[in-house]
Amino acid sequence: MTTFGNHSAGHMRHRRETRRPVILTVDGKAAAAVRDTGPCHHRLDLAAQAEAAEGIRQGLEDVAAGRTRPARAVFDQLGSRHGIPR
């Protein structure tokens, strides 16, 4: 890791050129990997989409089961609870 710290620009250039991860070692044993962020961003995007889809599914389930209230009733309750005038 010391070598990477001292020569990080060169290691990152090599990583970009080869498109392969850079494995950092401590005492000769793999300790970390520096890799392209593309796959990580893709997984985060997929997770966000799944989370949004689940929220929509739950909302539609609540509507179908009648677990809803008119927005005006919710705003009136919040207003009176927190002293917000209409």
Extents of the domains making up the chain: 2-36, 39-80
Decide if 34 contacts 21 (C-beta within 8 A): yes
User: Hey, what are 27's tokens?
Assistant: 């005492």
pLDDT at 1 > cutoff 70? no
Please tell me the predicted confidence (pLDDT) of residue 10. 83
Angle at CA of residue 61, ends 56 and 62, nearest 5°: 100
Chain segment 58-80, per-residue pLDDT in tens: 999 999 999 999 999 999 999 99
Q: pTM of the entire structure?
A: 0.49
Q: Where are the alpha helices (DSSP H) in the chain?
A: 2-6, 8-18, 38-64, 71-82
Tell me the average pLDDT across 45-64: 96
